[in-house]
C-alpha cells in the first residue's frame, strides 16, 4: 500500500499517523443538536449492522434453539415433528452403536492430525527461512498443494495410494517394501489422511514462515554473543516470538478437526470403489470398517440418509456442548478472539 | 461512543424482529401437501409430470424410450425425466416439496420407510377404482411392494441374483459345470486363482470379499435360507442358523486366500458398471450378479463366453439349490405430487402395460413382473437370461422384508459382517446378538411408542 | 567453513528431497490423466500412448461446463454478497464503540468457530419450506446477511487502520457511511481483497453445502461436488477422473498466481496479527 486518498483528494502517506490536523474541541452546539447527530449516528450504525444482525438471528440463534426443540422429537420431514421427550438422548447415550466410534475417530484426528501437520509446517518453514537461493520457488512448491481443492486432493490421494495399481505401492515395491492397503485398511485409512494433511500444510506453513522472518536478526546475534547455542536460541528467541502464531494454528486446527467431514467422506466414497447406483452417499461413509466415520458424518447419515432429523438434532446439540467446551478452553488463551483483541 | 438505553431498546427490538422473522420462515408447515386422486378415472390427461429414477447412461436411454411411447399415446402429457437419482436424493426431494411426481427406486428397501412415513402415497384407492389386477404379480413381488397392508408402490421389473461363470476359464481349469454348493465354489475358486511373481493375486476364481460389487448379506441370505426379521419387525438374525453357516464359510474362504491379498486385489479392480467390470475382463472367473449383467455383457463385452446358474448353496442344505435373491425396482407417487393422476397413468403404463413391460425387460434385461409379459412371445430370452426367470419361479427364492428402517437393518448387519471378515470379531454368536439389539433399538427409536 | 558448506548442502538436500515428495503427487496425477482406461488398471507409471482425448472425453461424460458455471456463480455471488454485508458490519465492530459491540462480536466468534453441522438441520428445514433445496441459493443467499468468518477477518484489517483517518473524515463532515466508503474501504483494499479471495476459494471448494442442498439435482452441482460423485455414478475410469481432478484445480491455481501477493499477505495477516 503506497498511498491512499482522503475525501478531500489529498494523498495521505499510509502507515503514519494522520495528517497533522489539530484536534478540535467539540463544538458547543447545544444539547439538542448533539443528541440529534448522535441519534443519526446510531441509526447509521444500526443500518450498517442490520444485515449481520439479521444473519446472526436467522442462521445462528434460531437454528440453535430449533435444534434443541427438534432433539426432543421424532421428525422425518414428511410428517410434523412428534414430541418423544428424552428418547433421542436415551438412544444417543445408551444404544447408538456408532456414535462412540465416530467420537473416537474425531478425537483421533484432533490428537494426531493437528499436531503432526503443525510440526511439519513448522519444520519446513524453518528450512525455508534459511534457504537463500530461489526462495520463491521453494515456497511455491511447498505452498501449492494447499491450493488444490480438498475434494480433488482426496480423489488424487486415493488413486495414488490405491494398493492394487497406485504408484505409491509400486514405488515401495521397487524398494522391496510391501506397501499397506492405505485407504482400504481400517488401520491405515486415518494415517493416510494424515499424510494428505501433511501434503496440504502450506497454509499454516506460510504463516509460520512469515512469523519466523519477523524475528529480528539482532535478537539471534545478541543471544549468540551471550553464548546461547542453537537449541537455546530456538528455546529463548524463536519460540517466544512465534507463540501467538502457534496458538492460532492449534485453535484453527482443532476446530477444523472437530468438524472433519469432506476429506473423510470423499476418501470413503472413492476408496470403497462401489458404484453408488441406488443407495446414495450415506451408505459408503465410514469405509473401510467405520474407520473414517467422524462425528459430523454420523450426524449427516442419521439426519439426511436415514431422515431421522430429530435424532440428528440430538447429535447436533451434543456436538454444540462439546465444541463449546473446547472453544472456551482454547479461546481463553487467545486474545484475538476476544472483543478487546487488536491486530 | 456508548449508546443510551433508548438505543439499547432499539437494538434489542431489531434482534427480536429478526428472530421473529426467522421463526415465521421456519414455522410454515413442513413439506408441501399435494393434490388428491379423482374419484373416477379421468377421461383425458393433460399436463406435465416429473419422473425420477436412478438409472444412468445406457439404461436411462431404455427408460426414455418407454417414456416416449407413453407420451406418444397421451399427446397432452409431457414427462420430465430426472435420471441418476439414488434413494437418498429421492427421499430428500420428496420430503422437501413437489418436485417429484413419480419416483422409481432401485430396490425394495425403501418400501417400508416410504409407505409408513407416507412419502409415497397409498395406491389402494386408485387400484380399486381402475380395477388393476394384482394377481398378475407373483406373491413375492406383491409382498415386497407393500408394507403393513399399505400398497404404496408398484413393481417395475424384478432383479434376480445368480452365478455368472466364465466358460473359457472354467474349462481351462478342467471344469465343465458350475458349482452347486458353497464348498464346491470355494474349491473351484481357489484352483482357478492365479498369482503374480511377487505373490499377489493376479486373477481370482471367485471374490469372496463382502461389500465388493454385488456381494452383500441380502444377496447371500437365500443361499442359507437365512431370516432377517420376525413378524413383528424385530431382528431374527441371531436366531437364524443360516447366517452363521454363511458367515463362517465366507470368512474361511477369505482366510484361505489372505484378507490383505484379497483386499489389495479388490482395490485394483475396475468399476462394476463400467467396461472394466472384473468379470467382463476375466479378472474373476465366477461372480455373483444380477440378471441385468447379461445386458451389460452384450453391450460392453459381447465376445465373452459365459454361462449362468443359480448361486451355490450351503452344504448343510443342498435342497436350497435353484433359488436366489429376488428384489425389484419399485415406483410410487410422492406425497407432494400436484399431478397424481398423470403420475398414476404413467405408473400404470410402466408396470402393467404388457408392451411397455416387455420393452423395458428386453432393454434393461430385467425380469418382467407381470404374467402376461412373462408369457409374451416378444420377450427376448437368451439361454443365460432364462436361468434368472427360473430362479424367480423357484420356491427357495426370497427377498428382504420391508421395514420402517429401510435398508438400515441390513446395513447394521453388514457392518458387523465387514468387521467379522477382517478378523476383528472373536465371538460370533455374541456379535450377532448385539446386531439384534442394535436393530431393535433402532426400530424402537423410529417407530416405537 | 567446511562445516558450514556441509550444513548448507545438508539443508538443501533435505529441502530437495521434500520438494520432490511434494511435487510428485501432482506429476503422477497429471500422468495418469493421460492414460487409457486399460492402462490405469496396470502397473504402468508412464502413459503409453498419451490419451490427450481424456480431456475432451470428460466433458462428454459429465455436464462439466455446467458444473463449472455453477461453481463460478456460487463463488462469485457468494463473494460479492458477503462483501456487501460484511464490510459495513466489520467496520462498525472495529471502529465504533457501543454497548452491545462485545456481545455481537462474541456471537460472531462463536458462529464462526462452531461446526456448521450444529445448525444444519433447522436451516435445511427452513430452505426446504421455501422450496429452495435442490439449488445453490441456500448457499449463496445467506451471504447477504453477513458471514461470520469474513466479518472477523475484515474487522482485524480495519483495526490496523489508525482511527485518526476516520476522525479526520468525520470532521470533514462525513457521516459513518461516508467514512466507510470514502476512507476505510480504499485503505483496507488489500484486506478486503484477501477476504474476498478466501470466500471465493471456500465456495469453490465447498463439499458439505452442495452435498446437503444440491445432491438431488445434478444440474445444480458445483464442480468440486461433481468430481466427488463422478466416479461412483458413471463408473468412470481413473484416467478420466484424474483429468477432471486437474481441471477442477486449474482455476484456483490461476487465481492464486494472479493475486499471489494479496493472498499471501492475507493469510499471513490472519495468522500473525490474529
Counting as contact any 3 or more CB pairs under 8 A, the partners of C are A, B
Distance CA A36, CA A34 (A): 5
The predicted structure's pLDDT at residue A11? 36
Using one digit for the tens of pLDDT, what is the confidence trace for B366-384? Answer: 999 999 999 999 999 999 9
Cβ-in-10-Å burial (0-12, 13-18, 19+) of B426 comes to exposed
Residue pair A151/C207 in contact (Cβ under 8 Å)? The answer is yes
Choose the weakest-confidence range: A58-67, C104-113, C117-126. C104-113
Report yes or no: C145 at the B interface, CB cutoff 8 Å: no
3-state secondary structure of B61: helix
Q: Does C18 touch chain A (CB under 8 A)?
A: yes
Contact B1 C96 (CB under 8 A): yes
Sorting pLDDT into bands at 50, 70 and 90, what band is A335?
Answer: low
Chain A within 8 Å of C38 (Cβ-Cβ)?
A: no
ipTM of the complex: 0.90
**Are B271 and C98 in contact (CB < 8 Å)?**
no
Three-state SS at B202: strand
Confidence (pLDDT) at C262: 78
Selected residues 251-270 of chain C with any CB under 8 Å from a CB in chain A: 252-253, 256, 264, 267-270
B121: left (phi over 0), alpha (psi -120 to 50) or beta: beta
pLDDT at A4 over 80: no
| Tens digits of pLDDT across chain B (449 residues) | 333 444 444 444 544 555 555 544 444 444 446 788 888 888 888 999 999 998 888 889 999 999 999 999 999 999 999 988 888 888 888 887 788 999 999 888 889 888 988 899 999 999 999 999 999 998 889 989 999 889 999 999 999 999 999 999 999 999 999 999 999 999 999 999 999 988 889 999 999 999 899 999 999 999 999 999 999 999 999 999 999 999 999 999 999 999 989 988 998 888 888 888 999 999 999 999 999 999 999 999 999 999 999 999 999 999 999 999 999 899 999 998 999 999 999 999 999 999 999 999 999 989 999 999 999 999 999 999 999 999 998 999 999 998 988 888 998 999 999 989 989 899 999 999 999 999 999 999 988 77
Looking at residue A13, its pLDDT comes to 35
Share of chain C above pLDDT 70, in %: 95
Which pLDDT score, from 0 to 100, does residue A278 have? 57
Chain B residues within 8 angstroms (CB to CB) of chain C: 1-3, 7-8, 11, 22, 25-26, 28-32, 56-57, 82, 84-85, 88-90, 92-93, 95-97, 99, 268-276
In angstroms, the Cα distances linking A293 to A100, A306, A319 are 10, 15, 15
Tell me, what's the pLDDT at B193? 96
| CA separation for the pair B415, B412 (Å, rounded) | 5
Mean pLDDT computed over C240-247: 92
Answer yes or no: do A331 and C119 touch at CB < 8 A.
no
**Nearest residue of chain B to residue C123 (CA atoms):** B26
The answer to whether C168 contacts A19, with C-beta atoms less than 8 Å apart, is yes
Q: How many CA atoms lie within 13 A of C223 on its CB side?
A: 29
- In sequence order, the β-bridge partners of residue B321 are B323
Residue C237 contacts B, CB cutoff 8 Å:
yes
**C-alpha cell of residue A136:** 520463491
- pLDDT category, C235, cuts 50, 70, 90? low
Mean per-residue pLDDT of chain A:
83
Q: Poorest-confidence range of A68-82, B321-335, C106-120, C260-274? A: C260-274
The residue in chain A having the minimum alpha-carbon distance to the alpha carbon of residue C241 is A155
Residue-wise pLDDT tens digits, A161-199: 988 778 998 899 888 888 888 998 889 999 999 999 999
What is the bridge-based pairing of β-strands B77-82 and B47-52? parallel
Per residue in B167-202, is it b (16+ CB within 10 Å) or e — as a string? Answer: eebbeebebeebbbbbeebbebbeebbeeeeeebbe
Position with higher pLDDT, C47 vs B131: B131
**Is the CB of residue C49 less than 8 Å away from at least one CB of chain A?**
no
DSSP states of B287-343: EEEETTHHHHHHHH-TT--EEEEPPPB-TT-GGGBTB-BEEEEEEEEBTT-S-HHHH
Cell of A65: 434453539
pTM for the whole structure: 0.87
Amino acid at each position: 500500500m503506497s498511498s491512499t486518498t482522503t475525501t478531500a483528494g489529498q494523498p495521505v502517506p499510509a502507515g503514519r499517523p494522520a495528517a497533522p490536523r489539530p484536534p478540535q474541541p467539540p463544538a458547543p452546539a447545544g444539547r439538542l443538536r448533539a443528541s440529534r447527530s448522535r441519534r443519526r449516528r446510531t441509526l447509521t450504525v444500526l443500518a450498517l449492522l442490520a444485515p449481520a444482525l439479521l444473519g446472526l438471528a436467522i442462521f445462528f440463534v434460531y437454528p440453535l434453539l430449533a435444534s434443541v426443540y427438534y432433539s426432543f422429537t421424532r421428525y422425518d420431514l414428511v410428517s410434523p415433528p412428534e414430541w418423544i421427550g428424552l428418547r433421542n438422548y436415551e438412544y444417543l447415550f445408551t444404544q447408538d452403536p456408532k456414535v462412540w466410534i465416530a467420537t473416537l475417530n474425531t478425537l483421533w484426528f484432533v490428537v494426531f492430525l493437528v499436531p503432526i501437520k503443525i510440526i511439519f509446517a513448522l519444520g519446513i518453514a524453518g528450512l525455508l527461512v534459511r534457504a537463500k537461493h530461489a526462495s520463491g520457488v521453494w515456497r511455491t512448491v511447498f505452498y501449492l498443494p494447499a491450493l488444490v481443492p480438498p475434494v480433488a486432493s482426496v480423489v488424487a490421494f486415493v488413486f495414488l495410494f490405491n494398493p492394487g495399481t497406485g504408484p505409491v505401492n509400486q514405488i515401495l515395491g521397487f524398494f522391496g517394501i510391501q506397501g499397506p492397503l492405505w485407504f482400504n485398511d481400517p488401520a491405515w485409512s486415518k494415517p493416510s489422511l494424515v499424510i494428505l494433511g501433511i501434503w496440504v500444510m502450506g497454509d499454516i506453513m506460510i504463516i509460520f514462515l512469515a512469523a519466523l522472518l519477523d524475528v529480528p536478526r539482532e535478537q539471534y546475534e545478541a543471544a549468540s554473543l551471550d553464548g546461547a547455542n542453537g537449541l537455546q536460541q530456538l528455546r529463548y528467541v524463536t519460540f517466544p516470538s512465534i507463540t501467538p502464531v502457534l496458538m492460532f494454528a492449534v485453535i484453527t486446527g482443532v476446530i477444523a478437526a472437530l468438524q472433519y467431514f469432506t476429506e473423510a467422506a470423499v476418501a470413503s466414497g472413492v476408496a470403497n470403489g462401489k458404484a453408488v447406483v441406488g443407495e446414495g452417499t450415506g451408505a459408503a461413509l465410514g469405509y473401510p470398517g467405520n474407520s473414517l466415520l467422524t462425528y459430523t458424518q454420523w450426524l449427516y447419515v442419521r439426519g439426511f440418509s436415514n431422515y431421522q432429523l430429530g435424532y440428528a438434532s440430538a447429535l447436533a446439540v451434543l456436538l454444540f456442548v462439546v465444541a463449546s467446551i473446547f472453544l472456551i478452553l482454547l479461546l481463553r488463551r487467545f486474545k484475538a478472539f476476544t472483543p478487546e483483541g487488536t491486530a | 461512543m456508548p449508546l443510551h438505553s433508548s438505543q439499547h431498546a432499539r437494538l434489542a427490538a431489531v434482534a427480536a424482529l429478526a428472530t421473529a422473522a426467522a421463526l415465521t420462515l421456519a414455522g410454515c408447515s413442513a413439506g408441501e401437501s399435494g393434490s388428491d386422486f379423482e374419484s373416477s378415472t379421468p377421461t383425458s390427461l393433460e399436463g406435465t409430470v416429473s419422473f425420477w429414477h436412478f438409472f444412468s447412461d445406457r439404461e436411462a436411454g431404455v427408460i426414455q424410450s418407454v417414456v416416449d411411447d407413453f407420451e406418444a399415446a397421451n399427446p397432452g402429457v409431457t414427462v420430465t425425466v430426472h435420471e441418476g437419482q439414488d434413494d437418498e436424493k429421492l427421499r430428500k426431494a420428496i420430503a422437501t416439496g413437489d418436485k417429484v411426481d413419480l419416483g422409481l427406486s432401485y430396490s425394495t428397501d425403501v418400501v417400508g420407510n416410504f409407505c409408513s412415513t407416507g412419502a409415497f402415497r397409498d395406491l389402494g384407492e386408485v387400484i380399486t377404482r381402475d380395477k388393476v389386477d394384482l394377481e398378475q404379480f407373483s406373491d413375492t413381488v406383491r409382498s415386497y411392494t407393500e408394507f403393513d397392508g399399505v400398497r404404496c408402490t408398484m413393481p417395475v421389473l424384478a432383479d434376480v441374483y445368480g452365478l455368472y461363470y466364465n466358460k473359457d476359464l472354467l474349462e481351462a481349469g478342467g471344469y465343465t459345470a458350475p458349482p452347486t454348493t458353497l464348498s464346491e465354489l470355494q474349491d473351484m475358486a481357489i484352483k482357478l486363482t492365479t498369482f503374480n511373481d511377487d505373490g499377489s493375486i493376479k486373477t481370482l476364481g471367485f471374490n469372496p470379499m463382502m461389500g465388493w460389487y454385488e456381494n452383500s448379506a441380502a444377496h447371500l441370505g437365500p443361499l442359507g435360507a437365512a431370516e432377517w426379521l420376525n413378524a413383528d419387525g424385530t431382528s431374527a438374525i441371531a436366531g437364524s442358523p443360516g447366517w452363521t453357516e454363511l458367515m463362517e464359510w465366507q470368512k474361511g474362504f477369505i482366510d484361505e486366500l489372505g484378507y490383505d491379498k484379497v483386499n489389495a486385489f479388490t482395490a485394483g479392480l475396475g468399476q462394476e458398471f463400467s467396461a472394466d467390470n472384473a468379470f467382463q475382463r476375466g479378472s474373476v472367473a465366477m461372480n455373483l450378479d444380477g440378471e441385468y449383467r447379461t445386458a451389460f455383457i452384450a453391450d460392453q463385452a459381447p465376445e465373452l463366453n459365459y454361462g449362468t446358474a443359480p448361486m451355490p448353496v450351503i452344504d448343510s442344505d443342498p435342497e436350497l439349490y435353484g433359488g436366489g435373491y429376488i428384489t425389484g425396482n419399485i415406483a410410487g407417487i410422492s406425497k407432494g405430487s400436484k399431478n397424481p393422476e398423470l403420475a398414476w397413468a404413467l405408473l400404470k403404463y410402466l408396470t402393467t402395460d404388457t408392451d411397455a413391460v416387455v420393452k423395458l425387460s428386453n432393454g434393461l434385461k430385467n425380469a418382467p413382473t407381470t404374467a402376461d409379459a412373462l408369457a409374451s412371445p416378444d420377450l427376448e430370452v437368451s439361454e443365460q437370461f432364462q436361468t434368472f426367470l427360473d430362479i424367480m419361479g423357484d420356491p427357495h427364492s426370497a427377498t428382504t422384508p420391508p421395514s420402517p428402517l429401510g435398508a438400515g437393518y441390513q446395513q447394521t448387519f453388514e457392518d458387523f459382517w465387514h468387521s467379522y471378515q477382517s478378523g476383528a470379531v472373536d465371538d460370533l454368536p455374541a456379535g450377532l446378538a448385539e446386531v439384534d439389539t442394535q436393530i431393535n433399538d433402532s426400530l424402537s427409536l423410529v417407530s416405537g411408542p | 567453513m567446511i562445516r558450514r558448506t556441509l550444513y548448507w548442502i545438508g539443508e538443501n538436500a533435505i529441502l530437495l528431497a521434500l520438494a520432490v515428495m511434494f511435487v510428485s503427487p501432482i506429476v503422477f496425477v497429471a500422468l495418469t490423466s493421460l492414460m487409457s482406461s486399460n492402462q490405469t488398471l496396470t502397473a504402468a507409471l508412464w502413459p503409453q500412448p498419451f490419451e490427450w482425448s481424456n480431456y475432451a472425453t470428460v466433458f462428454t461424460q459429465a455436464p462439466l461446463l455446467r458444473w463449472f458455471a455453477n461453481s463460478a456463480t456460487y463463488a462469485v455471488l457468494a463473494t460479492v454478497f458477503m462483501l456487501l454485508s460484511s464490510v459495513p458490519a466489520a467496520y462498525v465492530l472495529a471502529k465504533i464503540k457501543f454497548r452491545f459491540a462485545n456481545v455481537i462480536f462474541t456471537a460472531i466468534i462463536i458462529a464462526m468457530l462452531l461446526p456448521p453441522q450444529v445448525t444444519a438441520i433447522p436451516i435445511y428445514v427452513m430452505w426446504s419450506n421455501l422450496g429452495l433445496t435442490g439449488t445453490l441459493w441456500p448457499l449463496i443467499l445467506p451471504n447477504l446477511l453477513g458471514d461470520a468468518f469474513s466479518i472477523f477477518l475484515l474487522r482485524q484489517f480495519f483495526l490496523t487502520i489508525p482511527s485518526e483517518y476516520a476522525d479526520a473524515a468525520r470532521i470533514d463532515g462525513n457521516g459513518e457511511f461516508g467514512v466507510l466508503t470514502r476512507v476505510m474501504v480504499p485503505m483496507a483494499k488489500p484486506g478486503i481483497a484477501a477476504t474476498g479471495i478466501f470466500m471465493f476459494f471456500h465456495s469453490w471448494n465447498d463439499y458439505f453445502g452442495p452435498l446437503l442442498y444440491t445432491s438431488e439435482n445434478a444440474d445444480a452441482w458445483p464442480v468440486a461436488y461433481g468430481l466427488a460423485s463422478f466416479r461412483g455414478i458413471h463408473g468412470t475410469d481413473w484416467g478420466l477422473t484424474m483429468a477432471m481432478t486437474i481441471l477442477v484445480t486449474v482455476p484456483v491455481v490461476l487465481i492464486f498466481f494472479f493475486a499471489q501477493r494479496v493472498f499471501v499477505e492475507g493469510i499471513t495477516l490472519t495468522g500473525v496479527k490474529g
